[in-house]
Amino acid sequence: MFLQLLINGLIAGSIYALISSGFSIIYTTNKFVHFAHGSTATVAAYFLYWTFSGLGIPIYITFPLTIFVAALFGFLIHLVIYLPLKKRKTSSVILLIASIGIMIFCDNLMQLLFGANVKILSIFPHGRGIEFLGAYITPIQIAILIIVLILFVGLWTFSKYSRLGKIMRAVADNPELAKTTGINSVRIQHWSFVIGSAIAGLAGILIALEHNIEPSMGTHLMIQGFTAAVIGGVTSLPGSIVGAYVLGLVENFGIWWLPSGYKSAIAFVLLLAFLLVRPQGIFGINKGARE
Amino acid sequence: MLSAYLIHIAIIIVIYAILAVSLNVAVGYTGLLNLGHIAFFGIGAYASAILTKNDVPYTLALCASGIMASLFGWLLAKITAKLKGDYLALATLGFGFVVYAVMLNWTKLTRGPLGIPGIQKPNIFGWQITGAGSYLIFASVIALFIVLIIYRIVHSRYGKLLEAVRDDAIGAQALGKNIYHLKVQSMMISAFFAGIAGSLYAHYISYIDPSTFFLSDIIIIFTIVIVGGLASLRGSIIAAIIIIALPELLRFIDIPSSMIGPMRQMIYAVILILILMFRPRGIFGRIDLD
Amino acid sequence: MPKKLGIMIAGLALFLLIGGGCSRTDAPTTNTSGATETPAVKDTSPIKLGWLGPLTGDVSSVGTANREGTELAVKEINDAGGINGRKVEVVYEDGACDSKTASNAGNKLINVEKVTAIVGGLCSGETLANTTVAEENKVVMVAYGSTAPSLTTAGDYIFRVVPSDSYQGKYAANFVYSTLGKKKVAVLYAKTDYTEGIAQVFIDEYKKLGGEVVLTDTFLQTDRDLKTQLTKVKNSEAEALYFPTYTEAAVVGFKQMKELGLSISIIGPEGYADPKIVAAEGTHDTMYTAPVSPENESFNNKFMAATKRTDVPIYTTHAYDATKILLETIKKVGTDKEMIKNELYNVKNYQGVSGEITFDKNGDLATANYEIMVIKNNKSEKYSAQ
């Protein structure tokens, strides 16, 4: 049972990581909570459903196309709504509320267009998992784990060694100073939305395959995604993935004892705990969470 | 010629007006971004329902609902005392969700998802309220009292202190004011009235379950506060009328029912975003959100 | 200026609402308040019924079919000339299987549409949310799917053509213990009114019979990851799993049971008859309790022909019967609401397509008969001990 719970925790953690990593990229660079990030994944999933199940386009085209559409979606939100607000020097709190508005609009739009019923994407067959020392894991779940690991390595190298990554960190630290060295902060912020939302698109695809599609799928995961980012440290990209695994494991081992109805509350309790005790998370630097 | 339906909408508007005005005390006047305000609403509702079902007289239950909610307001303020900005907002969101989870799982107290049916209409010192019409009058009287009380609070010197916490906490501290206490008190006041609103709701609809107090409704209250304008009581009341009444017009157009729900939410979202983008002060607000 | 604009908008909204509300109430409606039909003046205005059920949300695949059951009943009556020359009209409102939505819908039916009676709701939460407003306005509600025990004492005007779960949970417990011979069971249920109610009845009865409930666990209806709860079940010594849940979580649960290699017997309540569950993966050999519905070829054919469906989802027959009973009662006593209520208590041995219907003094079904169905290869069939 321990091994199965461990695997369950790792799978859950991987899914949260898909959301938290993209979110973290956007947060570190823009310094406000882009709540609508979950909706990006939802929109991506429905787009995939529409093109694959509706129009019958083969997956080797729809998969990359979906990721592109997700990136575009995030980019447009930033361009049309956040940028004008930022130009007026509004606080991050207003941007948070605006992002909640966007999230509600998008989720309900999906419901309006596709209906509230859960949609199933039958691309890969589901079946009994592969048995491994008494625990079971399915091929899709293994694929998700591997993809997230690759993502982790990729983000870590990107953030530490690549030029864009270093520039993003500079902009995150101090946008004004970065500007004086000739860095175009706005362009970097655009990039953060493009990359972050593309990862959300990937998340949408994988979650659709593993859990099916419904209008609130992305938003439900945002809570855990955000919590994971806080746990790992919102200023650290690889940290957000570590935080996701911590959350996934605590949730799944936690309900060994607690009634499972409390599972969703665990994320919030952890969130509160970290915000109060260690707001910079495990890997982050303290960036003004407190007075 | 008011039809019963209008009375129904009017009661809902009155309740949401109280919720918005009470939230405004915390958000608009003191700068505490409480995304979990709906938890106080729920606590008040459950407290009132459970007490009256156990034969506690209504007037006592009404007071208790405010007091219970206020206690939780104290708790939330204590927990979030050191947080600011979006961290504060998200912590309060988390609080709201944990309260919901408790309502859902603590079945011994709240009956969980089965909810509490058959909540009686109020009986105040022998005067039994029957029917929606008299309930509207009752709720409006309470609302009037609440607005008057809050008006006195925010326009007094104490109110200026709260606004100082919002605008210039460090300055206020320099003058020796205890910021922490002010925040806690503000949250408690805000929660108290939200709890009363909860009791009013429970005794009107006569059936409550945890889903009534789920997080997503906070967006309605928040939209009302922002559209009306921060630190404007009059704004919250007028915005409550607009925000609640407008989507009801959707009912009279012939759209399939499956579309009404999402469309209402989308309308709220659009109103919110438009206000934020083009008139962040809201209709009557005097200050920006920070 | 924007301040004035704000006040103007508020005023406009109120004005439109009053206008909208008033225009509805000015429209010709039926006699609903106590006046009896006077034969001298022939009233040919339509008789207005309300219908409440989930047209959206988790159980909508059942709700939309149930609506068609009501539509069929109404069409038959109207095609035969209506009731005393008056056509029957139904206003359909969505309850979304959620108490808040249902409360607004019920309020609209009763206060705006001023319906004579309501067929509905399906989910217990939908019906419970409206009992007070229905009682206050003397509007009869005949629920066609609400099985929560608390409805028994909900009021004089509340009836249902389905048995209370206090029967069904007991029947399931007896089946698992005595017929299947499983002495240790796990119970995993969703936190909703219906599923929690029936799980509780099951647990109490099963323990009374002498069985051991080795594990009780819960999940939210919106949860889509039940793997850890199922892992706990797998790890317990349970010989069978009682799994009351609504559709969407059920589909996820069955898929994950398969992935985890959970192979004990699964038993559920009548909600499993939802076509979506029957068609889901991992449901082979799953058993569920269902109210005994007499084989009704002619109704089924009639229904499938009218709706172009290939099956008759659960509770459709009940919706049809609820509608028919109400309309026949109205035919007998007219549209006086109190008389309708009184007459309904006289319904005895009504041969409906969902079974024989007799209302007891609480408006509940006086008898309840269940049977066990089993899903084999994505089709439901009657369970036989072999």
Lowest mean pLDDT among A72-81, B93-102, B203-212, C329-338: B203-212
Question: Per-residue confidence at B282, pLDDT binned at 50, 70, 90?
Answer: confident
Backbone φ, ψ for residue C158 (5° rounding): -105, 120
Return the higher-pLDDT residue of C86 and C43.
Answer: C86
pLDDT class of C27 with cuts at 50, 70, 90: very low
> Is it the case that residue B163 has pLDDT exceeding 90?
no
* B275 pLDDT tier (thresholds 50, 70, 90): confident
CATH number of C166-290+371-382: 3.40.50.2300
Q: DSSP state, B26? A: I
pLDDT of the residue at B258: 63
Domain count within chain A: 1
Q: Is B83 on the interface with C (CB under 8 A)?
A: no
Binary contact (C22, B283; C-beta < 8 A):
no
What's the pLDDT band for C18 if we cut at 50, 70, 90?
low
All residues of chain C having their beta carbon less than 8 Å from the beta carbon of residue B228 are: 6
Most confident of the ranges A125-129, B257-261, C327-331 = C327-331
Q: What is the spatial distance between Cα A267 and Cα A251, in angstroms, rounded to a whole number?
A: 7
Higher-confidence residue of A124 and A57: namely A57
Mean pLDDT of B223-251: 86
Contacts of B257 in chain C (CB under 8 A): 55-56, 92-94, 105
Mutation target vs A (from C61, C217, C260; most A CBs, 10 A cutoff): C260
Tokens of A62: 């729809």
Q: Which residues of A touch C57 (CB under 8 A)?
A: 116
Q: Is residue B253 part of a domain?
A: no
CB C162 within 8 A of CB C363: no
Three-state secondary structure call for residue C381: strand
pLDDT of residue C24: 43
Separation between Cα atoms, residue B78 and residue C379, nearest integer Å: 57
> Of C104, C221, A39, which is closest to residue B269 (Cα–Cα)?
A39
| Mean of the per-residue pLDDT values of chain A | 85
pLDDT band at C21; cut points 50, 70, 90 = very low
Among A234-248, B50-64, B136-150, the range scoring the smallest mean pLDDT is A234-248
Among A61-65, A227-231, B21-25, B214-218, where is mean pLDDT lowest? B214-218
Task: Identify the closest residue of chain C to B260 by CA–CA distance.
Answer: C94
Q: How confident is the model at residue A287 (pLDDT cuts 50, 70, 90)?
A: low
Q: CATH topology of C47-162+315-347 equal to that of C166-290+371-382?
A: yes
What's the mean pLDDT in B175-189? 86
Q: Do C231 and A263 touch (CB under 8 A)?
A: no
CA distance C11 to B245: 10
Q: Are residues A85 and B289, on separate chains, in Cβ contact within 8 Å? A: no
- Collect all residues of chain C within an 8 Å Cβ-Cβ radius of residue A255: 228-229, 232
Give φ, ψ of B143 to 5 degrees: -60, -40
Total CB pairs under 8 A between chain A and B: 134
Sheet with C158-160: list strands edge to edge: C88-94, C47-53, C117-119, C140-143, C158-160
Asked if residues B116 and B207 have their Cβ atoms less than 8 Å apart, the reply is: yes
Residue type, A32: F
Contacts of A15 (CB under 8 A, 6+ apart): A144, A203, A206, A207, A210, A211, A221, A248
> Does the pLDDT of residue C226 top 80, yes or no?
yes
Give the model's pLDDT for residue C37. Answer: 45
- B276 vs A96: CB contact, 8 Å cut-off? no
In a domain, A59, yes or no: yes
Q: Provide the mean pLDDT of chain C.
A: 84
Give pLDDT, residue C32: 41
Tell if the CB–CB gap between A276 and B84 is shorter than 8 Å.
no
State the smallest CA–CA distance between residue B219 and chain C in angstroms.
16
Q: What's the CA gap between A59 and B153, in Å, rounded?
A: 62
| Contact at CB, A98 and B87, closer than 8 angstroms | no
Q: Give B246→chain A minimum CA distance, Å.
A: 17
Quote the minimal CA–CA distance from C238 to chain A in Å.
14
Q: Domain range for residue A82?
A: 15-217
Task: Give C174-224 pLDDT, tens digit per residue.
Answer: 999 999 999 999 999 998 878 888 999 999 999 999 999 999 998 888 788
Give the single-character DSSP code of B83: B
* CB-CB under 8 Å, B105 with C25: no
Decide which of B55 and C24 is more confident: B55
Q: What is the pLDDT of residue A181?
A: 76
Average pLDDT over residues B5-28: 90
Instruction: List, as one string, the DSSP characters of C318-362.
Output: HHHHHHHHHHHHHHHH-S-HHHHHHHHTT--SEEETTEEE-B-TT
Q: What is the mean pLDDT of residues A276-288?
A: 70
H-state helical runs in chain B? 4-24, 37-53, 58-80, 85-105, 107-110, 131-154, 157-167, 169-174, 179-205, 218-228, 233-248, 257-278
Answer whether B122's CB lies under 8 Å from B199's CB. no
Between B260 and B277, the higher pLDDT residue:
B277
A222 within a domain of the structure (yes/no): no
C285 within 8 A of C262, measured Cβ to Cβ:
no
Helix (H) or strand (E) holding A160: helix A139-161
Report yes or no on A250 lying in a domain. Answer: no
Q: Does residue A208 belong to any structural domain of this protein?
A: yes
C1 Cβ contact partners less than 8 Å away, ≥ 6 residues apart:
none
Alpha-carbon distance of A182 to B159, in angstroms, equals 46
Q: Does domain C47-162+315-347 have CATH number 3.40.50.2300?
A: yes
Please, what is the Cα angle at B35 between B29 and B36, to 5 degrees?
110
Average pLDDT over residues B251-272: 77
Whether the pLDDT of residue A201 is over 80: the answer is yes
Give the per-residue pLDDT at C320.
94
Give the per-residue pLDDT at C29: 38
Distance separating alpha carbons of residues C386 and C384, to the nearest angstrom: 5
| pLDDT tier, C23 (very low <50, low <70, confident <90, very high otherwise) | very low
What's the structural domain count of chain B?
1
Residue-range definition of the domain harbouring residue B45: 4-214
Q: Does the pLDDT at position C26 exceed 70?
A: no
Give the residue from A1, A3, A8 with the most C CB atoms within 10 Å of its CB, the best one to mutate.
A8
CA distance B196 to B42: 10
Confidence band of A16 (pLDDT split at 50, 70, 90):
very high
Nearest CA in chain B to A84: B277
What is the per-residue pLDDT for C34? Answer: 39
For residue B90, give the nearest of A90, A107, A271 by CB distance.
Answer: A271
